[in-house]
Structure 1
């Protein structure tokens, strides 16, 4: 039995416990150690043991690394932002400087900015034209005539000053127009197949009267052409009594006016022009009937649609365009409106023939057709023969027609009295050469 000193009880207990553990090799638990009042800290081993190093970053180090990363990321983003901002600021300053410089140069009269833009647009137009010619050019003959002809074609879409010409889209627009004129054509035989109460002569009288109405209300030529188109398309599939023929005419002109005119005449004015033969309700009822049958498809290419472009092509090489040629071509085209037989010709063919005959009437020394006209109209001289000959008969009034509204219209001084012009030589001789 061990004696415990009262002076140092803890030290004695620890010594006894330690001695007992070493001598007897007794396993001691934490509860026993607590009861004995000794410490469980192990004694140092005889050999030096290297502690295992575990890659456990301390919280303090991790926080410092994250903070440094954030600062670094901010610095990088800040540098990029500053760089972009500096570049943008430099570009803006350069742009402003360039604008001031350009403005100063143009004010001094050295450089015309608008002229430079026009030149650039013209160059682009020439590139587009060359590409279209390459795509549509025929095979070259042995003598190289086709290549020579295409080199003589004048680009009529290089003028970008007038936005109404739609220079950048003109070629695509007229490509679509050539397709559309085939899709919505009136029947060429509806007088025989559909109508029984009217004849071509009555149709001609109606249109001759509508020409006078268009002059009375100062309507555009587009309204007149569209009116005739609507009449023919409706009568191609709908039977009309002769008592209602005039009603159909004024109703189609009312629809065309609403579509083409800026300030169309009121419905009451069209009733008045018929001497109140038809009431307001009758005109409205006919308007509903026509529009429902046509499914409101009023955007159709007429002869006037093609005539503008073909006249432009005809005057492309002229230093001073002849206004008489434009009036004369319009006169020939309008003469065909009263003739039922001209429905067999496409509007583009009628427009090309009108230009052909107008050029021949004004100048017999040169051939009226050239590579530029052939390119833009898509008709060769041989394709125009029948239409031109029939149109010349209308010009000379070989049939003795009494319809004089169009002749009276173009006999006015504002149209240079082109209705009185005739060629001393028949155009038949031109096709027989």
Structure 2
């Protein structure tokens, strides 16, 4: 019996410091791109969808403007901490699901958003790279306490019945992109990143709240393709998802209007974050950002129209 080990290891320089271990992500698995995975997601997404507008019914104190302010703050935290792109949409999904069933006061909205960020980062960040609770408290300018955050984390879990493995629009992107005839026409990675940007921007606006995750994903892909002067393939996306074609057209127009409005009105940012400092923004404590290469891509200026 041969017991010779044929494993090859990369040579290391003697005396050199070992690199800091980073978060380990799973390699792409082609099995996860099969049609049955897409069908399962299409069936499952209904369980996590918000089907009614909760403003004026469940929520008597919260307004769409308050929701947008909290969502923009959540997005800024994710951007600043280099979170995985799935964290922010999942946190907003928790926020909407909670607000659709439980009334919240004005003073509790940011606390709810913070608890949703904590839960989403625990679920979607690799390894132990989730957002620390004390850092989230710092981002609220210490307007909440650690005890408040822990108690609201349990409250959100109980109201959502511990069903937090939600389906987001990001889950549909690779499944839909792999089934579009794009080979040789465009860089699919660029389309993927632009679609991620549109999903993150749309998550801030309550007008996109009632769209299903698959609808938002399909229309974000179509908007990214049309922004690159290509066919949006709405007919093919309709065949893949079974979503009504008129609904896809409506959502696509809303996304394009949103992006165009941002391009026209977004001020030019000062270099090195000077605008945030001038506005009184306080940077977080220094810490190791070993996963800074995985950041939420939400700079609309990177989208080429």
Residues 235/380 of structure 1: CA separation in 2 closer, same or farther (3 Å cut): closer
Question: 8 Å contact 1:331–1:419 — kept in the other structure?
Answer: no
Q: Name structure 1 gaps, 5 residues minimum.
A: 1-161, 409-413, 424-433
Match of 1:285 among 122, 147, 151: 151
User: Over aligned residues, Cα RMSD in angstroms?
Assistant: 3.1
Residues 292/418 of structure 1: CA separation in 2 closer, same or farther (3 Å cut): closer
Residues 228/370 of structure 1: CA separation in 2 closer, same or farther (3 Å cut): closer
What SS class does the counterpart of residue 394 from structure 1 fall into?
Answer: helix
Name the residue aligned to 2:190.
Answer: 324
What SS class does the counterpart of residue 363 from structure 1 fall into?
Answer: coil
1:212-227 aligned at under 5 Å gives the runs 212-227=76-91
What SS class does the counterpart of residue 313 from structure 1 fall into?
Answer: coil
Residues 163/278 of structure 1: CA separation in 2 closer, same or farther (3 Å cut): closer
Name the residue aligned to 1:237.
Answer: 101
Deviation sequence 1:223-275 (CA, Å, 0-9, x none): 11110000000111111111111000011100111111122122111111111
Whole-angstrom CA distance in 1 between matches of 2:164 and 2:27:
23
Name the residue aligned to 2:252.
Answer: 388
Deviation sequence 1:276-330 (CA, Å, 0-9, x none): 1111111111011111111110111111111232233336533662433222222
Whole-angstrom CA distance in 2 between matches of 1:189 and 1:399:
28
Q: Give the C-alpha shift of residue 369 in structure 1.
A: 0.9
What SS class does the counterpart of residue 368 from structure 1 fall into?
Answer: coil
Whole-angstrom CA distance in 2 between matches of 1:347 and 1:418:
21
Whole-angstrom CA distance in 2 between matches of 1:326 and 1:169:
15
Name the residue aligned to 2:69.
Answer: 205
380-389 or 393-402: which moved more? 393-402
Whole-angstrom CA distance in 1 between matches of 2:33 and 2:233:
25
Residues 303/198 of structure 1: CA separation in 2 closer, same or farther (3 Å cut): same
What SS class does the counterpart of residue 61 from structure 2 fall into?
Answer: coil
Name the residue aligned to 2:227.
Answer: 361
What SS class does the counterpart of residue 82 from structure 2 fall into?
Answer: coil
Residues 322/184 of structure 1: CA separation in 2 closer, same or farther (3 Å cut): closer
Question: 8 Å contact 1:324–1:418 — kept in the other structure?
Answer: no
Name the residue aligned to 2:22.
Answer: none
Write 1 or 2 for the structure with the bigger share of helix: 1
1:338 and 2:224 are equivalent in the alignment: no
Deviation sequence 1:66-108 (CA, Å, 0-9, x none): xxxxxxxxxxxxxxxxxxxxxxxxxxxxxxxxxxxxxxxxxxx
Whole-angstrom CA distance in 2 between matches of 1:180 and 1:284:
29
Question: 8 Å contact 2:90–2:168 — kept in the other structure?
Answer: yes
Whole-angstrom CA distance in 1 between matches of 2:86 and 2:146:
25
1:271 and 2:149 are equivalent in the alignment: no
Name the residue aligned to 1:376.
Answer: 240
Query: What is the TM-score when the length of structure 1 is the normalising length?
Result: 0.53
Residues 303/416 of structure 1: CA separation in 2 closer, same or farther (3 Å cut): closer
Question: 8 Å contact 2:259–2:300 — kept in the other structure?
Answer: no
Name the residue aligned to 2:15.
Answer: none
- Greater Rg by CA: 1
Q: Name structure 2 gaps, 5 residues minimum.
A: 1-25, 274-295
Residues 417/323 of structure 1: CA separation in 2 closer, same or farther (3 Å cut): farther
What SS class does the counterpart of residue 344 from structure 1 fall into?
Answer: coil
Question: 8 Å contact 1:208–1:404 — kept in the other structure?
Answer: no
Q: Give the C-alpha shift of residue 192 in structure 1.
A: 1.7
Deviation sequence 1:168-223 (CA, Å, 0-9, x none): 77322221211111122124311121111110011011111111100122111111
Question: 8 Å contact 2:70–2:110 — kept in the other structure?
Answer: yes
Q: Give the C-alpha shift of residue 372 in structure 1.
A: 5.2
What SS class does the counterpart of residue 31 from structure 2 fall into?
Answer: coil
Q: How many residues align?
A: 253
Whole-angstrom CA distance in 2 between matches of 1:402 and 1:249:
25
Deviation sequence 1:373-401 (CA, Å, 0-9, x none): 44433347544111111111101118988
Query: What is the TM-score when the length of structure 2 is the normalising length?
Result: 0.74
Whole-angstrom CA distance in 2 between matches of 1:314 and 1:214:
30
